[in-house]
Chains A and B, each alone.
Chain A
Amino acid sequence: MKKKLVSILLCVSMTACLFAGCGSKQEGAEKGTEEKKEETAGTGTLEVWLPAKLNGEDEAVWDEISAPFEKEHGVDVTFQFTSWKDYESKYSSAISTKSGPDVGYMYVEMFPTYIDAGAVEDLGEYLTDEDYENYTVLGDQYKIFGKNYGIAQGGPEAVLAMFYNKEILASIEESAPETWEDVMRIAKKAKDAGKCGIAQGWGQTFYQDLNWNWYSFLYQAGGDIFDEEGKCILDEKEGVETAQFLYDLKNTENVLPEDTMSLTNSEAFEKYFLSGEAAIGFVSAGSSMFEQLKENNIDYGFTYELKGNNGSMGARASVDQLVLMSAAEDKELAFEFIKYVTGKEGGEKYHELTKSNPNMKDQKWYGVEEAEEPYTKAVGEGTIRPITAARRAPEVYDYLWKELQEMMNGSVTPEDAMKDVAEYANAMDYSAPAE
């Protein structure tokens, strides 16, 4: 009887623990939200979510930047850093369960879903004329659906640049390429001289390499992926012309590496350009890339201003932004924080610590010295620009990337590939949800 009683008690306690476990999660979350609300209203707490992108230095950098703000406003700013890979899924889970941050971080592809769900604030009411005057990242090309939903902490980053190997170019009696025609000619001559024409990789497993292999070429042809309404216009002349140029690199002129379909673009650049084998490569012109080129003793040149057949230029860049979440308890405080960390004091400190590009007029340049003048010129002239936001974009990008792989593998023609992508994209609803 005693044994039976003990076992029954044990079972009851286990079940109770189970319920407590399930309950505490929910209760805990509710309690946490309540506590957070109380704290925010009273002592002032601000929760900020960011992707971890500073090689493990995120916490130290952000603590240093936010310390003066916390002191001045008597507020405790807590940061949560999430890996890039999990950032979006974690973010959407948190927002859907109403446990998201006060201040968040978004890249262009993320915005539409959150805007449609009313999860991010339009900053139109918060920004002053002075802000529009001082910030260089609030212009039309940085707006999402015509509005400012965030402020970028730095100027356009991860800008696509064309790098060329001066030594190889000299050996084939060529100078810096300026047009697609130059690129094709130089690549063919380099290949004939036993080198690799262009260090380009098409083996990325998802659409990330559109950043280096597609958008900028499309801009240089004078095109875009979506029009203002969000309709996919890749089947127009410019899209087909871009696809044809890339197709020819591999299938007509054979100037790409043999294993181009297995390597990501950065793997191809490392394998062929950084080893001094390739004449040309297209990658992000960040500080670390310049360091790697120097470490490998490559005699290189670079430009953001490659011209397409009709003389258009374009270099794709990222302009990720800090956003004010609609669920923030103290929106004024949260916006103050955004302005501080993107502004003269906090923003400048961030640029200094992370070597990022200026986002305001008359700010000091902390990046690679040789990139300052061409970068400033290209940003000023609108050559460097971010991609356009559109609903259902990630799905279209993924489809586009895989269709481009099909095309590069020779399974479809450039024209059919573009037609197929446009049909796929436009079969989906891309209109704004009803108010």
Chain B
Amino acid sequence: MKKRDYSGYLYILPFFMVMLFFWYIPILMSGWFSLTEYNALSTPVFAGFANYKALLQDKIFLKSIRNTLIFVITVVPLETLLGFLTAVWVEKRKITWLGKFVRNGMFIPSLASASIVSIVWRILLNNDQSPLAYLLSFFGINSSMILGSKTMVFPALIIMEVLMGTGYYMVLYLAYLVDIPESYYEAARLDGASGFQLMRYITAPLIKPATIMIVFLGVIGTFQSFDMIYIMTGGGPGQGTTATVMLSLYLYSFKYSKIGYGMAIGNLLIILVAFLTFMQRRLLREKTSNLY
């Protein structure tokens, strides 16, 4: 009888150790700390589920969950759709200078630091002489009112997040689009398919794996949105107008020295993301295209 080969376990051991020390143990520790009153300097004092109970009664935290969900529900579909449409457009013009310009121009924002991009947005919005202010004035919008307006600021943040993320998803889609054999389109054209039908019945199904991956990445990334909101609004103006779960986590853990409370927020975020990801997987169970 052939002896079982255990060398495979050795191969995964280094990565497993990294996962264990930098992911699983911290998650377990955060579970423990969330059950304590702890400020990083004094000894943690066991408080049971007091942090979780307080969280569920915290009006601003509940507002931050609502904001985060709105952010995810709006940003992810918009980024995915725009990423897909731009990728299709660019793919058809990949050798033209315009195609190259759009591809690079769209991708650059996703390479830049979110903090820097946010500072630039803030300057553009608050400066009456900026090109953006000039552009918005055609629509009767005073750009320097946006960040201080409780009604306009959240939609503005959504648009900025979409513009920042679309380029990255466009590139992911492009990687899949170049793999679709040209013969599929030729055959469909011979059968009289229109441009829309080509996209609907060939392109879209064949890049379904990319779409699933992008939606997953988008949901997880958007749930963790922090830099832009922290820099642009700090969760304001006012009480929790643009606060997100990640922002609350940061404020409680690092600004207010309430580590236990911050960890409780972190754990709820993990549960929320895990639940949504699980649901998403169930809804999109069919991972690969049946055309391949």
Docked CA distance A119–B21 (Å): 29
**Contact B17–A15 (Cβ < 8 Å):** yes
B144 x A405 contact (CB < 8 A): no
Contact A403 B10 (CB under 8 A): no
Known: A8-B7, A259-B144, A398-B251. A267 touches B126 (CB 8 A): yes
- Given A117-B41, A117-B42, A258-B145, A405 and B21 touching (CB < 8 A)? no
- B145 contacts across to A, CB distance below 8 A: 258-259, 261-262
**In the complex, which of the residues A113, A205, A260, A403 contacts B233, with contact meaning CB atoms closer than 8 Å?**
A205
The answer on a CB contact under 8 Å between A114 and B13 is: no
A261/B18 in contact, CB under 8 A: no
Chain B residues whose C-beta falls within 8 Å of the C-beta of A84 in the assembled complex: none
A394/B148 in contact, CB under 8 A: no
Residue-wise, chain A 267-303 has the 8 Å CB interface mask toward B (1 for contact) of: 1000000000000000000000000000000000000
Task: List chain B residues, Cβ under 8 A from A392.
Answer: 256
In the assembled complex, A11 has its CB within 8 A of some CB on chain B: yes
A405 with B236: CB separation less than 8 A? yes
Identify which of A11, A259, A398 contacts B14 (C-beta below 8 A): A11
Q: Which of B21, B146, B232, B235 lies in contact with A402, CB distance below 8 A?
A: B235
Give the contacting residue for A411; candidates B10, B142, B238, B254; CB below 8 A. Answer: B238
Chain B CB within 10 A, most for which of A88, A262, A267, A394: A262
Cβ of B10: which chain A residues have Cβ within 8 Å of it?
A: 7-8, 11-12
Contact A92/B18 with A261-B237, A262-B125, A262-B126 known, Cβ cut-off 8 Å = no
CB-CB nearest in chain A for B13:
A15
Closest B residue by C-beta to A90? B254
Contact mask for chain A residues 111-126; partner B; CB cutoff 8 A; 1 contact, 0 none = 0011011010000000
Measured between alpha carbons, how far is A403 from B235 in the docked complex, in Å?
12
A184-207 interface code vs B (CB 8 A; 1 in, 0 out): 000000000000000000111110
For the side of the interface on A, what is the size category? 35 or more
Tell me if B148 and A203 are in contact (CB < 8 A). Answer: yes
Is the CB–CB distance between B146 and A262 below 8 Å?
yes
Question: B interface, how many residues as a size bin?
Answer: 35 or more
Cα distance A292–B42 in the bound complex, in angstroms? 45
A22 within 8 A of B: yes
Would A409 and B238 be within 8 Å (CB), given that A11-B10, A92-B257, A259-B126 are in contact?
Answer: yes
CA–CA, A409 to B148, complex, Å?
9
Cα distance, A259 to B148, chains bound together (Å): 7
Partner of B238 from the list A8, A117, A398, A406 (CB cut-off 8 Å) is A406
A55 at the interface (CB under 8 A from B): no
Q: How far is the CA of A203 from the CA of B146 in the complex (A)?
A: 11
User: Are B255 and A96 in contact (CB-based, < 8 A)?
Assistant: no
Interface residue? A18 (CB, 8 A): yes
Q: Which residue of B lies closest to A16 (CB)?
A: B14
Contact with B along A34-67 (1 / 0, CB 8 A): 0000000000000000000000000000000000
Closest to A113 in B: B257
Task: Say yes or no for B196: interface residue by CB 8 A criterion.
Answer: no
Q: Is the CB of A11 within 8 A of B11?
A: yes
B149 is an interface residue with CB less than 8 A from chain A: yes
Residue of B nearest to A17 (CB): B14
Do B148 and A14 have beta carbons less than 8 Å apart? no
Taking the complex as formed, is A93 at the interface, i.e. its CB lies under 8 A from any CB of chain B? yes
Count chain A CB atoms within 10 A of each CB in B40, B145, B232, B258 and give the residue with the most: B40
Question: Given that A18-B14, A18-B18 are known contacts, is A114 also in contact with B237, CB under 8 Å in the complex?
Answer: no
**Smallest CB–CB gap between B195 and chain A, Å?**
43
Tell me which of A14, A114, A261, A263 contacts B149 (CB under 8 A). Answer: A261
- With both chains docked as a complex, state the minimum distance between the C-beta of A4 and any C-beta of chain B, in angstroms: 6
Q: How far is the CA of A379 from the CA of B64 in the complex (A)?
A: 43
Kindly state whether residue B289 has any CB partner on chain A within 8 Å. no
Tell me if B142 and A259 are in contact (CB < 8 A).
Answer: yes
In the assembled complex, B219 has its CB within 8 A of some CB on chain A: no
A368 at interface by CB-CB < 8 Å: no
Closest to A112 in B: B257
Contact of B239 among A202, A261, A267, A403 (CB under 8 A): A403
Check if A406 sits within 8 Å of B239, measured CB to CB: yes
In the complex, B200 has a CB within 8 A of chain A: no
A371 on the interface (CB 8 Å rule)?
no
B230 within 8 A of A: yes
| Shortest Cβ distance from residue A237 to the other chain B in the assembled complex, whole angstroms | 24
Cα-based distance from A15 to B234 in the complex (angstroms): 42
Taking a contact as CB atoms closer than 8 A, the residue among A4, A15, A205 that contacts B236 in the complex is A205
Look across to chain A and name the residue whose beta carbon is closest to the beta carbon of B232: A205
Partner of A405, one of B11, B126, B238: B238
8 Å CB interface, B111-143 against A = 125-126, 142
Q: What are the residues of chain B within 8 A of A258 when measuring CB–CB?
A: 142, 144-145
Say yes or no: A203-B237 contact (C-beta < 8 A), given A89-B254, A95-B41, A395-B256: yes
Name the A residues within 8 Å of B42 (CB-CB). 116-117, 433
Please tell me if the beta carbons of B40 and A7 are within 8 angstroms of each other in the complex.
no
Residues in B whose Cβ lies below 8 Å from that of A267: 126
| Residue from B40, B126, B235 within 8 A of A93 (CB atoms) | B40
Known: A202-B148, A405-B236. A7 touches B11 (CB 8 A): yes
- A45 and B240 CA atoms in complex are apart in Å by 47
CA distance A399 to B256 in the complex (A): 11
Using Cβ atoms and an 8 Å threshold, which residues of chain B touch A203? 147-148, 237
Chain B residues near A262 (CB-CB < 8 A): 125-126, 144-149
Q: Tell me whether B39 is interfacial, beta carbon within 8 Å.
A: yes
A-B contact pairs, 16 of them (CB 8 A): A8-B10, A11-B13, A18-B18, A19-B17, A92-B40, A119-B41, A204-B234, A258-B142, A263-B148, A395-B256, A395-B258, A398-B255, A398-B256, A401-B236, A402-B236, A405-B236
Other than the given A203-B147, A262-B125, A262-B146, 14 more pairs (CB < 8 A) read: A11-B10, A19-B17, A88-B254, A89-B254, A92-B41, A261-B148, A261-B149, A261-B237, A263-B126, A392-B256, A402-B239, A402-B240, A406-B239, A409-B150
Q: Which 4 A-B pairs have the closest CB atoms?
A: A261-B148, A205-B234, A262-B148, A117-B41
